[in-house]
Amino acid sequence: MAHTWIWRSRWVLAFWLLAAQTGRTQVVPPPPPAELTGGTNGWHEGFVRYDFLMDEASHAITPYHPPAGERFGVKEPPKGQRRAIVVVPRQAAAGRPWSWRGCYWDHEPQTEVELLRRGFHVVFVTPDPGPAWDAWYDWLTTRHGLAAKPAFIGMSKGGVNEYDWTTTHPDRVACIYADNPAIRPAAFAQLEALARNDVALLHVCGSQDFLLQRHTLPLENRYLEFGGQITVLIKDGAAHHPHSLRDPKFIADWIESHVRPAAEQRPDFLDPRSRKSYYYSRAATNVFLSAEKTFANCRGPGFTPVYERYDVPAESQWGLTGLAVIVPREPAPGKPWLFRADAVDRDAAIEQALLARGWHIVIAPLTAQAGAVPEQWEAAYQMLVAHGFSRRPVVAGTGTGAGEAYAWAIAHPERVAAVYGRNPALRSLSMSGPETPLDHLAALAQAGVPLLHVCDAADPWFETQTKVAAERYGALGGRLTVVRNPAGFPGTVLAEAAAGEAAGRLEEAIAR
């Protein structure tokens, strides 16, 4: 035995010397995940279930044999203990994904059963969240090799529990499915941490649920402000019960897609510190749920295209950002882009149509008290063109934002493919004196720049701005197209036909 030890030690010494000579250290692989013991074939469809007790004081975890008659559910633990459960798939999926039930084990378990079929582990520990949940997480991920970021499932009070824990551990969760949930004010105040950690949310609710108006809807609005992904499905006519969907495929598909997200590909032309968020329409669609025999009003990334948005950091004590870029899934040839003078809202149908066609949407910085800074626009233009973007973007804006876009185009007519304004007012803070862009349209006409105005039926600027601009531009030999939106008031959603027509005209302009 001594000789064997010496022989092995020589090899260890040789590897150590080789590593020292090459400047590298030997990487020791982690031990394989510890196997669970004590399981029973006691859960739905014969999946193996393992039961444990966790000591409240020491957090020690030991195998446990459930009492007779418990069947699929779970009874109260002995005093000073917590019940814990792991159900294992027949074949673990790559990465060992798992779901964590926040409360009410075995209530409407169809989603977890479907996840087990797909190779997920399914786990539970007695609430409420706290150090015991931290110990349970560490035991599962460190000792038993489950993925670092589980999917959470919480119904009613389970929603309270999952949001309590995840908002204080936002780097330890992949996504959250909440069903008719409530949320405490303390967790609501920390939602930004989830958005910054790219945690997607799914809320499934009944239209008559007593928690909907005071919990899910305010949470949805807040998460949108932070640029996070939240999908909402509201079952028409349903109350707090029944939870979930009878057919769990949509929920399981959603969880699976967020537990295994595509690799992030940040644009190489932006500051690496740029903050990532998501841009998508809030438009709702109605989906018939055949098992429930009702419709669900659905909105969010689960039902509409979603695009990554990047905001470049700016030196500001007020949390302002500089340039913002919304990235298409697949850039169109030539990298066409829309250069906006103002913010883009979630009802911007033309911008969404252009994103679907491969355009980038670029939002100019607005960081000064006096409004747009021409030097910032110039820097943004030069940076994008240097990275292969088209030399002639479409410049755009809404209301007086269109006036700022016009002012930049008039100063640089050779750089503009077209000017697009929504309910435009041709006024600009960057022009001195009483003059406005309406007085300088000749530069654009001489360069052959087409103009496009999309005007709502109740556009307040239509008579004094668009009509006058059309008359003057026509007299200069230019082309100004007006698309009327049948919607009644400025800011309303642009009709699909009008958005498609406008996007098509902008594509023609960039191709000329």
**pLDDT, tens digit, 9 for 90 and up, residues 42-52:** 899 999 999 99
Six-digit token pair at 300?
Answer: 């969010």
* pLDDT confidence band for 32 (50 / 70 / 90): low
Return the bridge partners of 420, or none. Answer: 396, 452
For tokens 């027949």, the residue is: 90
pLDDT tens by residue, 119-137: 999 999 999 999 999 999 9
For the ranges 164-168, 266-270, 458-462, the lowest mean pLDDT is seen at: 266-270
pLDDT at 473 over 90: yes
Work out the average pLDDT over 167-186. Answer: 98
Strand runs (DSSP E) across 315-380, as ranges? Answer: 321-327, 337-340, 360-363
* pLDDT confidence band for 488 (50 / 70 / 90): low
Strands 200-206 and 230-235, how do they pair? parallel
Say if residues 429 and 405 touch (Cβ distance below 8 Å): no
For the ranges 92-101, 170-179, 342-351, 428-437, the lowest mean pLDDT is seen at: 428-437
Which pLDDT value is given to residue 314? 81
Six-digit token pair at 253?
Answer: 């598909």
What whole-number distance in Å separates Cα of residue 270 and Cα of residue 387?
A: 10
Q: What are phi and psi of 426, to 5 degrees?
A: -85, 75
pLDDT at 174 over 90: yes
How distant is the alpha carbon of residue 33 from its chain centre? 32
* pLDDT confidence band for 10 (50 / 70 / 90): very low
Instruction: Please state, as a whole number, how many other Cβ atoms lie within 10 Å of the Cβ of residue 373.
Output: 15
For tokens 């252009």, the residue is: 354
Say if residues 334 and 390 touch (Cβ distance below 8 Å): yes
Which pLDDT value is given to residue 419? 97
Work out the average pLDDT over 268-296. Answer: 95
Which pLDDT value is given to residue 357? 96
Return the bridge partners of 63, or none. Answer: 52
Give the closest residue to 125 by CA, choosing from 96, 92, 98. 98
Return the bridge partners of 123, or none. Answer: 86, 100
> How much of the chain exceeds pLDDT 90, in percent?
75
Domains of the chain with bracketed CATH: 44-268+280-289 (3.40.50.1820), 314-511 (3.40.50.1820)
Which pLDDT value is given to residue 264? 76
Which pLDDT value is given to residue 263? 74
pLDDT at 495 over 80: no
pLDDT at 493 over 90: no
pLDDT at 253 over 80: yes
pLDDT tens by residue, 80-111: 999 999 999 999 999 999 999 989 999 999 99
For the ranges 2-16, 189-203, 345-359, 427-441, the lowest mean pLDDT is seen at: 2-16
Q: What is residue 496's three-state secondary structure?
A: helix
Work out the average pLDDT over 393-419. Answer: 96
The one-character DSSP state at 260 is: S
The CA dihedral of 470, 471, 472, 474, to the nearest 10 degrees, is: 80
Q: Is the pTM of this model over 0.95?
A: no
Q: What is the mean pLDDT of the chain?
A: 90
What whole-number distance in Å separates Cα of residue 367 and Cα of residue 83?
A: 54
pLDDT at 422 over 70: yes
For the ranges 75-79, 231-235, 313-317, the lowest mean pLDDT is seen at: 313-317
pLDDT tens by residue, 300-320: 999 999 999 999 988 776 666
Which pLDDT value is given to residue 409? 97
pLDDT at 367 over 80: no
Pinpoint the alpha helices (H) of 139-261.
157-166, 185-188, 191-196, 217-225, 249-259
Bigger pLDDT: 446 vs 373? 446
What whole-number distance in Å separates Cα of residue 97 and Cα of residue 260?
A: 8
Give the closest residue to 511 by CA, choosing from 441, 397, 418, 421. 418
Which pLDDT value is given to residue 12? 35
End-to-end CA distance of the chain: 84
pLDDT at 321 over 80: no
pLDDT at 481 over 90: yes
Q: What are phi and psi of 182, to 5 degrees?
A: -110, 165
* pLDDT confidence band for 430 (50 / 70 / 90): confident
Element (H, E) at 21: helix 2-22
For the ranges 91-100, 273-282, 485-494, the lowest mean pLDDT is seen at: 485-494
Bigger pLDDT: 16 vs 427? 427
Which pLDDT value is given to residue 21? 40
Say if residues 311 and 321 touch (Cβ distance below 8 Å): yes
Which pLDDT value is given to residue 29? 46
Give the closest residue to 216 by CA, choosing from 233, 197, 195. 233
Is the Cα torsion angle 345, 350, 352, 358 positive or negative in sign? negative
For tokens 């109605």, the residue is: 286
